[in-house]
């Protein structure tokens, strides 16, 4: 049983797009609301994309870049807080956190795709 759980977790970390789609499908079937389902899938799979970016970067460069990922997340949070404060002059924490987390999803999906492509190209040219 623990092997099956480990396999599922490893698949979701390795292929977070699959987890995103699976969460979306289950949510659409239960809620019948596509917009809410997309938001739920984004919110829950963002952490998987962050973890996947960490492991892809570790595989490419053979060193931990966790400090860089954490720094990037903190900088994005600071920028979002400043922009939110300038625009609304009052910080609404729930809107701020949702916007920050969803932007991190977009950022890390982009980084996941770029690093995956870069890793494939590097492995192809290093092998040949």
| pLDDT, tens digit, 9 for 90 and up, residues 9-30 | 777 778 899 999 999 999 999 9
Determine the Cα–Cα distance for residues 96 and 77; give it in Å rounded to an integer. Answer: 9
- Residue 68's domain comprises 2-127
pTM > 0.85: yes
Number of domain units in the chain: 1
**Cα Dmax for the chain:** 57
Query: Do residues 59 and 117 make contact, with C-beta atoms less than 8 angstroms apart?
Result: no
Q: What is the pLDDT of residues 55-78, one digit of tens each?
A: 999 999 999 999 999 999 999 999
């Amino acid at each position: 049983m623990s092997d099956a759980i480990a396999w599922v977790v490893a698949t979701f970390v390795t292929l977070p797009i699959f987890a995103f789609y699976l969460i979306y499908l289950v949510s659409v079937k239960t809620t019948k609301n596509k917009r809410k389902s997309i938001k739920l899938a984004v919110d829950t799979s963002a952490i998987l994309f962050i973890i996947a970016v960490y492991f892809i970067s570790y595989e490419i460069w053979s060193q931990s870049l966790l400090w860089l990922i954490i720094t990037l997340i903190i900088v994005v949070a600071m920028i979002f807080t400043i922009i939110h404060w300038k625009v609304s002059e009052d910080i609404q924490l729930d809107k701020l956190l949702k916007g920050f987390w969803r932007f991190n999803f977009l950022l890390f999906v982009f980084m996941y795709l770029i690093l995956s492509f870069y890793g494939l190209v590097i492995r192809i040219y290093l092998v040949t």
